[in-house]
Amino acid sequence: MKRILAGILAAAVIAGSAALTGCGGASSDKTTLKVYNWGDYIGEDVIKKFEDKFNINVVYDTFPTNEEMYVKLKAGGSDYDVAIPSDYMIKKMINEGMVNKINLNNIPNYKYIEEKFKNLSFDPKNEYSVPYMWGTVGIIYNKTMVKEPVNSWNILWDKKYDKQIFMLDSQRDSIAVALKKLGYSLNTKNKAELEKAKNELIKQKDIVQAYVGDEVKDKMIMGEGALAVVWSGDAVYMKNQNKDLEYAIPKEGSNLWFDSMVIPSTAKHQKEAEEFINFMCDTEIALKNTNYIGYSTPQTEVKKKLDPALLKDIAAYPSEEQMKGCEVFVDLDASIKDYDKIWTEITSR
């Protein structure tokens, strides 16, 4: 879920950091911590700061989707010490014994995590995960092209915006849009409801310019589309780059998501992994991450340091009323095959 322009820069910085560490004659007795995260989802110099503070080398890899991360970890052969998946995937990994318990006594900065981000449904006893970022899925739109209120998913089916609409190239997110438009839960396993959602997306496809990932940010900033389904942190970034853009959470509800840090069961360095997680919860570091990637923080002290205008922005910190109807994705178990099937039918047309 993350941005592309700054991502290239971040990748270069992180790669540079790793290269410098490697070429700088790093001592062989240094611990190497392996971190697996979404693309462009960390402040530019945060890894370097951690390496310098703890005298630890970091190998930092990225993934584009929860599913790709899961497949890689499930297949074995990887030994990541820290990963940052989303809510429903964390639950799946807990159920399958793929993550270790975290000793919160080793995470003193956990005290800064806001209470409402603890005891969440995917980790009700706070045993396996520490919150990192959270947000919503909504519609970003160009106010010079869209003059009517944007308050419903229905607008993404309006033919007046022919070829000016971008949908996410993300199975669960795009199917969720259709399900919420129809008034269904975005976690439904009801085959009849899923069939209707599929038909809605097929009906819509002719007026969609493209199904996209991170590139949606450049396209909307450059005015290449009128409406796009996006993750909220990306919306904050886009709004900062183009003042004609605005973000809305449709009245039918949407997806409320949480990304949290976990320690995979294949980790070789539990102690250092907990040091890394605690480091990421430090106020200075969490502020760097929040300011850089644009997503919403669960860290209480960071929120006190943010621009008051940002705290009032629906894209970053929506109110409970604005999130009414939002749902958190849950693990669909065997029903994910139904989603796979209809997504294939949609994208193959």
- For the chain, the domains span 32-134+257-318, 135-255+325-348
Contact partners, residue 73, CB within 8 Å, separation at least 6: 36, 80, 83, 93, 98, 264, 266
Terminal Cα distance for the chain, rounded: 25
Task: Count Cβ neighbours within 10 Å for each residue of 308-330 and write b for 16 or more, e otherwise.
Answer: eebeebbbbbbeeeeeeebbbbb
CATH architecture of 32-134+257-318: 3-Layer(aba) Sandwich (3.40)
Structure tokens at 204: 């819509």
CATH architecture of 135-255+325-348: 3-Layer(aba) Sandwich (3.40)
Query: Which residues does residue 228 pair with via DSSP β-bridges, in sequence order?
Result: 140, 166
Tell me whether residue 124 is exposed, middle or buried, using C-beta atoms within 10 angstroms of its C-beta: 0 to 12, 13 to 18, 19 or more: exposed
Write down the mean pLDDT value for the chain. 91
Cβ–Cβ under 8 Å, residues 7 and 63: no
Range with the poorest average pLDDT among 16-20, 90-94, 142-146:
16-20
pLDDT at residue 10 greater than cutoff 60: no
Q: What is the mean pLDDT of residues 242-263?
A: 97
Range with the poorest average pLDDT among 16-20, 36-40, 60-64, 174-178:
16-20
- Note the pLDDT tens digit of each residue in 24-65: 344 568 999 999 999 889 999 999 999 999 999 999 999 988
Query: How far is it, in rounded angstroms, from Cα 314 to Cα 249?
Result: 8
pLDDT at residue 157 greater than cutoff 90: yes
At residue 29, the 3 state secondary structure works out as coil
- Note the pLDDT tens digit of each residue in 180-224: 999 999 999 999 999 999 999 999 999 999 999 889 999 999 999
Q: Quick one: which of 92, 59, 91 has its CA closest to 78?
A: 59
Structure tokens at 201: 């997306």
State the pTM of this model: 0.86
| % residues pLDDT > 90 (the chain) | 83
| % residues pLDDT > 70 (the chain) | 92
Query: How far is it, in rounded angstroms, from Cα 173 to Cα 153?
Result: 13
Contact partners, residue 188, CB within 8 Å, separation at least 6: 179, 194
pLDDT at residue 4 greater than cutoff 60: no
Known binding residue 88? Answer is yes
Q: What is the mean pLDDT of residues 237-258?
A: 96
Rounded (10°) angle between helices 171-181 and 191-205: 100
pLDDT at residue 19 greater than cutoff 60: no
Tell me whether residue 29 is exposed, middle or buried, using C-beta atoms within 10 angstroms of its C-beta: 0 to 12, 13 to 18, 19 or more: exposed
Q: Do the two domains 32-134+257-318 and 135-255+325-348 of this chain adopt the same fold?
A: yes
